[in-house]
């Protein structure tokens, strides 16, 4: 549940062929991790759109005959170099979009699967670092690049000793 003193952090990434694209939202101005002051994510949202912020259309998928594409997005509390699996303790938001088009004008399927999107945490997800890492990747380049938007409702919190211990247990448990 979000607290009354929340604010928003945002990032937008543009896909780049089959490359892993990422950005780190700098939290250094909001946190003092060694002294227990951290960012807590109450809600996280991931959106997919065509380059230019319109809806994804068939021409984004293909310029020819039937093609299916996929794009994955993730949010982690640690820097990554590729998409990570759900067992990664730093992963706290994940979404995928799948699209098929029979031609550049006919979309046959568009589906977004959300393992962790939108993400709402009852007591918040503690980010024990000085950045939020947003990343996207696809195995096969789309006909046109896509924009992926990330929005986080957050608040700052000074952790108690008990909360720090809970965090340490959760980060080391697998």
Token pair recorded at residue 59:
């021409």
Residue 15 scores a pLDDT above 90: yes
Give the model's confidence band at 116: pLDDT under 50 very low, under 70 low, under 90 confident, else very high: low
Largest pairwise CA distance in the chain: 59
CA distance 54 to 61: 14
Q: What percent of the chain has pLDDT over 90?
A: 67
Read off φ and ψ for residue 2, nearest 5 degrees. -70, 145
Q: pLDDT tens, 32-47?
A: 988 889 999 999 999 9
């Amino acid at each position: 549940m979000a607290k009354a003193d929340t604010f928003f952090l945002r990032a937008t990434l543009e896909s780049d062929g089959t490359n892993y694209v990422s950005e780190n939202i700098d939290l250094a101005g909001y946190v003092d991790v060694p002294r227990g002051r951290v960012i807590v994510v109450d809600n996280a949202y991931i959106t997919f759109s065509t380059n230019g912020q319109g809806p994804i259309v068939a021409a984004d998928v293909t310029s020819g005959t039937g093609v299916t594409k996929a794009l994955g997005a993730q949010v982690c509390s640690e820097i990554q170099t590729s998409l990570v699996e759900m067992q990664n303790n730093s992963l706290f938001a994940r979404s995928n979009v799948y699209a098929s088009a029979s031609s550049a004008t006919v979309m046959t399927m568009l589906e977004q699967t959300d393992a962790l999107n939108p993400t709402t945490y009852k007591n918040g997800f503690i980010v024990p670092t000085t950045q939020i890492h947003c990343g996207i990747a696809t195995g096969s380049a789309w006909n046109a690049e896509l924009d992926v938007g990330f929005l986080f409702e957050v608040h700052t919190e000074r952790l108690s000793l008990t909360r720090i211990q809970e965090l340490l247990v959760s980060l080391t448990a697998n």
